[in-house]
Chain A
């Protein structure tokens, strides 16, 4: 596939924005300036970026506890996200949600929430609404490999397939369900085969290759718009950080989950660095361009932190605001 320079640079910028945003949270977490649970998306940037690049602004996405990347890739405000993580009134959920409950309805980020598999059926519903209204909007449900243990995934796949709903089921397979390695959760690691039993297009892609993700998503979105949905895509990836917070969950440490060798191997497949190499090797960008892009995004992120820190906390008197029953 041929891509314009602008498109490729946009992908790169989005991935870098996500990576630098996530890494910028490490210090505030350690200093306890950020106190809510934060699930970093480092290492999985290519999935949110590639999928959202195939969507239009009016399409819908739903996410999980690990959704900063989805939110940013779909156009959510960085200041809104960072402020939310600091628990501020200026946050995208006005300080009521924290890192795990983020939203930007104007950009189609319909909500990310941490009940495993809990938002899958909500994407089914927005797709149903789109079908009833004949709008051709596509709904994307991002979920992890852990969600394949929940029954609602299978109910949703069945109903979506039955009604040919425009849903894109995106499973981010990072091999760990919090602390549990996938071999202890599933009899096999071919998650994409789940989709096949519902007679729908089911794909498995390298979730660390943004172009491969994009091409699969593009195909899926087209199918959904032509009433040939739903589509299931398994994106194989790895989180470079641990389940929650900056802890890397390395064997021998107190969180003792992952072999250090495994993490080293996956660092070689870092989606941001690999795409950077691709852009340099194909003379799409030069080293100077890369530095300039990173510098700009670093500033954007620094400004967002400053904005968040200077923002007010929600008023104590407004504890019950947004309650109706």
Chain B
């Protein structure tokens, strides 16, 4: 199949959806500039003009609100935040307006908007230019949150997000942009809310999303050499979350490790741990492990960055710790 990079897969989704549907438009800071959005917007301005590729002043709140407003009357806008950090200015239109709109008006109005936030970290950019804030959005009823990890899903989920009648937060990580993979040339969709098993295994279930899937696959390869067979689940959507896929896997392996590029406390990994403990606790052979960022803002110095961002090594350590542990105490039957 044809190979395409992750960022050009997004670019192709935008080209194809804007060509096939006149209600689709792109708005946000830097959509004309590769400095902001990489090559994801390549050729769009030239092809669709300033009316549908709208570069904006630095006004995240109003511009996101404008995208939500346009969606209320049937447009299908994609509003891009070239760094998720900047999206915090737009919490009102996202959380108070877009997420609640359909419910608070008894289903009489919908908001088919895509809110695209880019995680852009590393490179000593530090605290306000490096945040992975997906869990904030996944907490809110009324928002779908997708986080692709492959070029195939990057395109397919963008298309699904645009076609969805409700607000979708599309989050990608620039560390994925140069990854190449199979991408069909036609328009296709990847279902929102469905995860996928990236590698079958029997010893431990490793759940992750977005860039952490790359680190998870590396970790599973390292562990394979040591005879540990890891099952890797790529969530693709963190809200709605594919619970059944996780449960099926944990029932088989009895062990769960979650790798997340976000913070630990109240985060995505905590939620997955909770739903597994709540629903299939008896299937667990050992405590659940989380591999996440420490609860610390992103540092600048590369010396600190090296210990800040979780990677395959951290995942390997977590899995080994899990496997070396004793049988979980709740599984030891009393003999008296």
A contact set with B: CB distance below 8 Å: 60, 62, 91-97, 101, 103, 105, 110-111, 113, 115, 118-132, 139, 151-152, 155-156, 158-159, 162, 321-325
Selected from A121, A128, A323, A325, the residue in CB contact (under 8 A) with B64 is A121
A91, B107: Cα distance in complex, Å: 12
Known: A121-B62, A158-B59. A111 touches B105 (CB 8 A): yes
- B interface residue count range (under 10 / 10 to 19 / 20 to 34 / 35 or more): 35 or more
Specify the chain B residue showing the minimal Cβ separation from A116.
B92
Selected from A113, A155, A321, the residue in CB contact (under 8 A) with B104 is A113
Give the 5 A-B residue pairs with the shortest CB-CB distance, closest first: A125-B69, A121-B65, A94-B106, A155-B62, A122-B69
A111, B105: Cα distance in complex, Å: 8
Selected from B66, B106, B166, the residue in CB contact (under 8 A) with A93 is B106
User: Is the CB–CB distance between A125 and B65 below 8 Å?
Assistant: yes
Question: Which B residues between 66 and 104 are near A, CB-CB below 8 angstroms?
Answer: 66-75, 77, 92-93, 96-97, 101-104
User: Is the CB–CB distance between A159 and B62 below 8 Å?
Assistant: yes
User: Is the CB–CB distance between B105 and A156 below 8 Å?
Assistant: no
> Which A residues touch B57, using CB under 8 A?
155, 158-159, 162
Selected from B62, B108, B144, the residue in CB contact (under 8 A) with A156 is B62
A65, B209: Cα distance in complex, Å: 40
Known: A111-B101, A122-B97. A128 touches B66 (CB 8 A): yes
User: Is the CB–CB distance between A125 and B71 below 8 Å?
Assistant: yes
> Which B residues touch A159, using CB under 8 A?
56-57, 59, 62-63, 66
B61 within 8 Å of A (CB atoms): yes
B240 within 8 Å of A (CB atoms): yes
> Which B residues touch A62, using CB under 8 A?
69
A110, B74: Cα distance in complex, Å: 12
User: Is the CB–CB distance between B72 and A110 below 8 Å?
Assistant: yes
> Which B residues touch A119, using CB under 8 A?
97
Given contacts A159-B56, A323-B141, 5 further A-B contacts (CB under 8 A): A93-B106, A122-B93, A152-B92, A155-B59, A158-B59
Enumerate 26 A-B pairs (CB-CB under 8 Å) in ascending A order: A60-B73, A94-B108, A96-B104, A96-B105, A101-B104, A103-B109, A110-B109, A113-B97, A118-B93, A121-B62, A124-B69, A125-B68, A125-B69, A125-B71, A125-B73, A127-B69, A128-B54, A129-B73, A151-B61, A152-B92, A156-B66, A159-B59, A159-B66, A322-B103, A322-B107, A323-B141
Specify the chain A residue showing the minimal Cβ separation from B145.
A325
Selected from B51, B93, B106, the residue in CB contact (under 8 A) with A322 is B106
Q: How far is the CB of B90 from chain A (nearest CB, A)?
A: 9
Point out which of A91, A93, A110, A152 has the most chain B C-beta atoms below 10 A from its C-beta.
Answer: A152
User: Is the CB–CB distance between B239 and A126 below 8 Å?
Assistant: no
Q: How far is the CB of A225 from chain B (nearest CB, A)?
A: 17
User: Is the CB–CB distance between B65 and A156 below 8 Å?
Assistant: yes
> Which B residues touch A162, using CB under 8 A?
57
A129, B63: Cα distance in complex, Å: 13
User: Is the CB–CB distance between A120 and B70 below 8 Å?
Assistant: no
Specify the chain A residue showing the minimal Cβ separation from B164.
A324
User: Is the CB–CB distance between B108 and A152 below 8 Å?
Assistant: no
A6, B289: Cα distance in complex, Å: 74
How many residue pairs, one in A and one in B, have C-beta atoms under 8 Å apart? 147
A139, B106: Cα distance in complex, Å: 23
User: Is the CB–CB distance between B51 and A122 below 8 Å?
Assistant: no
Known: A121-B61, A325-B143. A105 touches B70 (CB 8 A): no
Q: How far is the CB of A313 from chain B (nearest CB, A)?
A: 13
Selected from B52, B65, B102, the residue in CB contact (under 8 A) with A152 is B65
Q: How far is the CB of B59 from chain A (nearest CB, A)?
A: 4
Selected from B72, B75, B97, B239, the residue in CB contact (under 8 A) with A118 is B97
A122, B63: Cα distance in complex, Å: 9
User: Is the CB–CB distance between A152 and B166 below 8 Å?
Assistant: no
User: Is the CB–CB distance between A129 and B108 below 8 Å?
Assistant: no
> Which B residues touch A122, using CB under 8 A?
65-66, 68-69, 72, 93, 97
Selected from B66, B104, B144, the residue in CB contact (under 8 A) with A325 is B144
A36, B41: Cα distance in complex, Å: 46
Selected from A126, A132, A323, the residue in CB contact (under 8 A) with B25 is A132
User: Is the CB–CB distance between A96 and B106 below 8 Å?
Assistant: yes
> Which B residues touch A60, using CB under 8 A?
73
User: Is the CB–CB distance between B106 and A124 below 8 Å?
Assistant: no
> Which B residues touch A126, using CB under 8 A?
69-70, 72-73
Q: How far is the CB of B49 from chain A (nearest CB, A)?
A: 10
Specify the chain A residue showing the minimal Cβ separation from B169.
A325
B142 within 8 Å of A (CB atoms): yes
Digitize B90-131: 1 where CB-to-A-CB distance is under 8 Å, 0 elsewhere. Answer: 001100110001111111110000000000000000000000
Specify the chain A residue showing the minimal Cβ separation from B65.
A121
User: Is the CB–CB distance between A325 and B62 below 8 Å?
Assistant: no
Point out which of B61, B72, B73, B96 has the most chain A C-beta atoms below 10 A from its C-beta.
Answer: B73
Q: How far is the CB of A319 from chain B (nearest CB, A)?
A: 10
User: Is the CB–CB distance between A105 and B109 below 8 Å?
Assistant: yes
User: Is the CB–CB distance between A97 and B59 below 8 Å?
Assistant: no
Known: A115-B96, A122-B69, A129-B69. A325 touches B142 (CB 8 A): yes
Point out which of A127, A158, A322 has the most chain B C-beta atoms below 10 A from its C-beta.
Answer: A322
Known: A111-B101, A115-B92, A128-B70. A105 touches B61 (CB 8 A): no
Selected from B51, B63, B105, the residue in CB contact (under 8 A) with A103 is B105
A118, B54: Cα distance in complex, Å: 22
Known: A120-B65, A128-B70. A324 touches B144 (CB 8 A): yes
Point out which of A129, A156, A323 has the most chain B C-beta atoms below 10 A from its C-beta.
Answer: A129
> Which B residues touch A95, using CB under 8 A?
106
> Which B residues touch A158, using CB under 8 A?
57, 59, 62
User: Is the CB–CB distance between A121 and B69 below 8 Å?
Assistant: yes
> Which B residues touch A110, using CB under 8 A?
69, 72-73, 109
> Which B residues touch A123, using CB under 8 A?
69
> Which B residues touch A92, using CB under 8 A?
105-106, 108
